[in-house]
Structure 1
Amino acid sequence: MNLQNKTLLITGIDEFIGLRAAELAIAQGMKVRGLQSSNNHKKIQHLGIEVIVGDITNPTTAQKACQGVDIVLHTAQVTQEGGSLKHFREVNVKGAVNMAKAAKNAGVKTFVHLSSVMVYGFNYPDDVSESGPLASDNNPYCQTKIEAETELLPLNNPPDFGVIIIRAGDVYGPGSMPWIVKPILMMRQKLFAYANEGKGVMNHVYIDNLIDGIFLAIAKETYGEIFNITDGQNTSWKEYFMRLAAMENLPAPMSLPKDEMKLFLRLRYQGQKLFRQKADILPESVDFMTRPYTYSIAKAQSLLDYKPKIDLEEGMRLTKEWMQQTDIQK
């Protein structure tokens, strides 16, 4: 499929991944429409595109958004480390299925669902591939990403309607909340630590590499397929967070035992709840920051000819440039 002049609908266009996808799609000559839940258009005003405000779980909104569209990139989701399973299920499963069915009814050719490597849980085999075992590990994010994939794949019916699943790694870059903004804000307050000496692997993917992988999958019409997309670098958690601290000229973070960290964050979270403050970091985040192994990107390299163009060194340099121009506390 030639992507030029195709109309792309991006759900969650006002969020980190959706916004960058829109910018890169326009740069490639695509026409972009956005769907977002908030009425705040500040982030996307510079793009000059049509934005529909509404809920992805609403069939009428979804149908309206999908009219006249060639491709849907569904990025809208709940991305917290923990919380109510009911809330996660409403957005991550019901919302995804609602958008896919609306797209199918509207004659959309391609539906790309942004899933996550978290479908493998927290203790998966090393170099796990797309056929590897899935595990929710009692986490609502992991659980609902698995459920969404399970309900979406049966809708795949090419050539009329094709579904592609992208299991993204740990997406970082300018605007990334979990891997850039939150850790830096915690580091500035001297509240950040990494667990278990920073052992294990952060399977980072720079935002532009992820979007490149998504566009390759669409162009090659790989319908019914699932792809792990990461940078393919074997970076320890310690190295990543040390680089992040150095980028801001902050002291190197310390290490704590995993159980000790979880206890501290649990007590902090309970205190914030008591004083009706919004939690800045949940205890479950420790599980996300201590995963032990790599995810294989061999399938994406083989079928998509995916080659990550931006390595960690360059990704951190680009992120530092953004940080110097941005007040991340706002």
Structure 2
Amino acid sequence: MAGWSCLVTGAGGFLGQWIVRFLLEEKELQEVRALDKVFRPEVQEEFSSPQHKGKLTVLQGDILDKQCLRRACQGVSVVIHTAAVIDPGEALPRETVMNINLKGTQLLLEACAQANVRAFIYTSSIEVAGPNSYSEAVRNGREEDNHESRWASAYPYSKRLAEKAVLAADGWALAGSGTLHTCALRPMYIYGEGSPLLHADVTRALENDGLLHYNTKRSVANPVYVGNVAWAHILASRALRDPEQAPRVRGQFYYISDDTPHQSYGDFSYALGREWGLRLDSRARLPVALQYWLAFLLELASFLLRPLCRFRPPFTRHLVTLSNSVFTFSYEKAQRDLGYEPPFRWEEAKQKTVQWVGSVVEQHREAGKAKTG
């Protein structure tokens, strides 16, 4: 357990930053390597703080660069792989998403085997489990239920295949000696300060007279706070390095949630934004079934037009299903195997996120004044 080091991919991202902060507090940890393709100026400034000197090494590189990955993994004990393209709206070319999410993971696993990395934790996604149908409710699902996404959309498909590759790599022989130990974490919809998806929701609402997008009332999700997801990664890194814990964790995946109230995405955004004047759009919407079949027609049009032009549907069947399903999961297995207990309770997580939403609203208003001025 002593004298270990850790590489975090996607370290400049929303979740990656939190994982790095927690790692820097770990005893016996000699070095944290923070790898990302691009670091925003504020993240670069935080990571360059004098208090981190000697313990935090910032690396810029591409997850598809084999040489970069080999150098980054050299001498490392644990890899936490969070780097990914999150693209539920299918805005990016499929090849881009598949390359980064799947091929990048495969290349990183190979680099770990060559560099004798002992433990690999993969940040998976709830979307590898579904939902597959808006008419089928899943409440407090568990790992043993074997839910699996059937969508061919690039994001859930690439994450599902990448997770399978990671779990199948458990037990790989390392180039020197020993074997690779792996596990995967499947967080729910992650929220908190800096959330890119929540930022997009708030910005879109501010551009629409403060009206938040509204989903059907029957949809239910269980969002999870980013600090709790990051903490689960720390516990997984401890477990895979512990000879007593590792046997029951190796090759396993875990759902990660917390005590955030289960509700629709629209109601959740409203709970975080109403203090700043955001409100739900109460105008009548098309029934979900009609939205679904309209999405099918739009996807068909996109396919037929592909030889002539790239038409991107404004929404897809996958997105309609994701936004309008009852799909919640228990973290009991993570509690049992990893000792996971969310360090941030709902009220604290809500307060921190609401304050951040307020800063987003203020920045948007100031930008508006500057334009009109």
What TM-score do you get using the length of structure 1 for normalisation? 0.85
The answer to whether the 8 Å contact 2:143/2:254 transfers is yes
1:42, distance to aligned residue in structure 2 (A): 3.9
Query: Using the alignment, how far apart are the partners of 1:252 and 1:314 within structure 2?
Result: 24
**Aligned with 2:270 (options 227, 232, 242):** 242
For residues 1-330 of structure 1, the aligned pairs below 5 Å read 1=1, 6-29=4-27, 30=29, 31-38=31-38, 40-48=40-48, 49-81=56-88, 82=90, 83-122=92-131, 123=133, 125-131=138-144, 132-157=146-171, 160-178=179-197, 180-190=198-208, 192-197=212-217, 199-221=218-240, 222-237=249-264, 238-254=266-282, 256-257=285-286, 258=288, 283=316, 285-325=319-359
Q: Helix, strand or coil: the match of 1:196?
A: coil
Instruction: Quickly say closer, same or farther: Cα 1:42–1:242, change in 2 above 3 A.
Output: closer
Q: Deviations over 1:199-230 (max 9, x none)?
A: 22222110111111111122122221111101
Q: Helix, strand or coil: the match of 1:50?
A: strand
Q: How many residue pairs align between the two structures?
A: 314
Gaps of 5+ in 2: 49-55, 173-177, 241-248, 303-311, 368-373
Query: Using the alignment, how far apart are the partners of 1:242 and 1:325 within structure 2?
Result: 16
| RMSD (CA atoms) | 2.8
Task: State the percentage of identical aligned residues.
Answer: 23
Query: Using the alignment, how far apart are the partners of 2:341 and 2:203 within structure 1?
Result: 32
Q: Deviations over 1:277-329 (max 9, x none)?
A: xx9x8555443322312112221121122122323332120112334456666
Query: Using the alignment, how far apart are the partners of 1:328 and 1:153 within structure 2?
Result: 43
- Residue type at the aligned position of 1:321: Q
1:185, distance to aligned residue in structure 2 (A): 0.8
1:234, distance to aligned residue in structure 2 (A): 4.7
The answer to whether the 8 Å contact 2:66/2:111 transfers is yes
The answer to whether the 8 Å contact 2:11/2:17 transfers is yes
The answer to whether the 8 Å contact 2:166/2:183 transfers is no
The answer to whether the 8 Å contact 1:232/1:297 transfers is no
Instruction: Quickly say closer, same or farther: Cα 1:39–1:204, change in 2 above 3 A.
Output: closer
The answer to whether the 8 Å contact 2:64/2:103 transfers is yes
Q: Deviations over 1:62-97 (max 9, x none)?
A: 101111211111111010112433222111110011
Gaps of 5+ in 1: 271-278
Q: Helix, strand or coil: the match of 2:349?
A: helix
Q: Deviations over 1:94-116 (max 9, x none)?
A: 00111111012111111111000
Instruction: Quickly say closer, same or farther: Cα 1:196–1:323, change in 2 above 3 A.
Output: closer
Instruction: Quickly say closer, same or farther: Cα 1:241–1:321, change in 2 above 3 A.
Output: closer
Query: Using the alignment, how far apart are the partners of 1:250 and 1:14 within structure 2?
Result: 29
Q: Which residue number in structure 2 is paired with residue 275 of structure 1?
A: none
What TM-score do you get using the length of structure 2 for normalisation? 0.76
The answer to whether the 8 Å contact 1:117/1:228 transfers is yes
1:242, distance to aligned residue in structure 2 (A): 2.2
Q: Helix, strand or coil: the match of 2:328?
A: coil
Query: Using the alignment, how far apart are the partners of 1:328 and 1:163 within structure 2?
Result: 42
Query: Using the alignment, how far apart are the partners of 1:194 and 1:26 within structure 2?
Result: 40
- Residue type at the aligned position of 1:145: K
Instruction: Quickly say closer, same or farther: Cα 1:210–1:70, change in 2 above 3 A.
Output: same
Q: Deviations over 1:32-69 (max 9, x none)?
A: 11111126554232223322222111211110111121
